[in-house]
Structure 1
């Protein structure tokens, strides 16, 4: 059951995250709390507690610093991606120090990218973060796919990383198609067509 919850929240973020600022904030906060707690094999109740605290905290902080919301959401999504990277590169038991360094580095990088490129960066970050949550949920729900959550051997790392990349690209493609106008893609294409027609007159 707990795997299905994180899978659904991940799917929402991966394929629909750019649609609503509030949705992105709550989903990334929830996912970050969950994935960070999961790095250290927390109990199910602790996972839900961390996830809920993460969602509420993210929403409150973003409401207080709305001017920097893109920066903050980018940082949250980056932290989720960092938690996933930390889990993939550390087979077996995770080291607190190395995990913290990886998560912090990806968080800061993602925050600056989101602040600089706004919707385009958030499109990628929500897709990547949502994909990591989906894989965590699949690993918890389907017994023989547990390595998607925490790969331990080389082939599992390769397969889990490939699945993560494929899901991220799929999420990016779906969101880009669904929310082209929000991303300014439709306007750009329309303007190009209009300019092309005018140039032929």
Structure 2
């Protein structure tokens, strides 16, 4: 069940993340909370609670700091991207402090890019953050077959997981780009 939930949230973020800023905030916060809690060895129940709290905190933070909403969305999605990248590069053997520093650095860079380049960078961050979460969810649903999508053990698995992530993220970016263009061209 948890893998299905992660995959659904990841696919929503990947394909329609910026269509609704509220959905993007909640999904990014949930994803970041889940991946950080899971990376620190939390149980499924604790990870779900942390993820739900992170979703609410991210949403409230963005609502309070309205002008910085794209920074927050980009930062949360960037945190998801950073967590996925760290998992691909380090697997289960990574240093916790290094993981936190890496995730925060990617989150801040992604947030700054979203604030500077607006929708373009935010769509990119949502698409690739969602794709990473969706693939981690699939790895959780079928750990024997697709577990490498969550934490690869070999270089070949890491390359295959990264390729799947790039393809799904690019597909999500393309779909979101079209949705945003259609909504901006729709008569009011």
Q: TM-score range by the shorter chain?
A: over 0.9
Q: Tell me, yes or no, if structure 1 residue 137 matches structure 2 residue 149.
A: no
Q: Tell me, yes or no, if structure 1 residue 154 matches structure 2 residue 165.
A: no
Instruction: Name the structure 1 match of 2:42.
Output: 42
Instruction: Name the structure 2 match of 1:3.
Output: 3
How much has 1:153 moved relative to structure 2?
1.0
Unaligned runs of at least 5 residues, structure 1: 188-201
Unaligned runs of at least 5 residues, structure 2: none
- Does the 8 Å contact 1:85/1:102 carry over to 2? no
Question: For 1:18, what is the secondary structure of its paired residue?
Answer: coil
Larger CA Rg, structure 1 vs 2: 1
- Does the 8 Å contact 1:13/1:28 carry over to 2? yes
Q: 1:41-100: per-residue Cα shift (whole Å, max 9, x none)?
A: 321101101110111101111111111101111111101100111111103322112101
The two structures have a TM-score, normalised by structure 1, of 0.88
How many residue pairs match? The answer is 185
Mean Cα displacement is larger for which, 41-50 or 27-36? 41-50
- Tell me how far apart the structure 1 counterparts of residues 81 and 133 of structure 2 sit (CA, whole Å): 9
- Tell me how far apart the structure 1 counterparts of residues 94 and 42 of structure 2 sit (CA, whole Å): 12
Instruction: Name the structure 2 match of 1:79.
Output: 79
Q: Tell me, yes or no, if structure 1 residue 23 matches structure 2 residue 23.
A: yes
Instruction: Name the structure 2 match of 1:109.
Output: 109
The two structures have a TM-score, normalised by structure 2, of 0.94
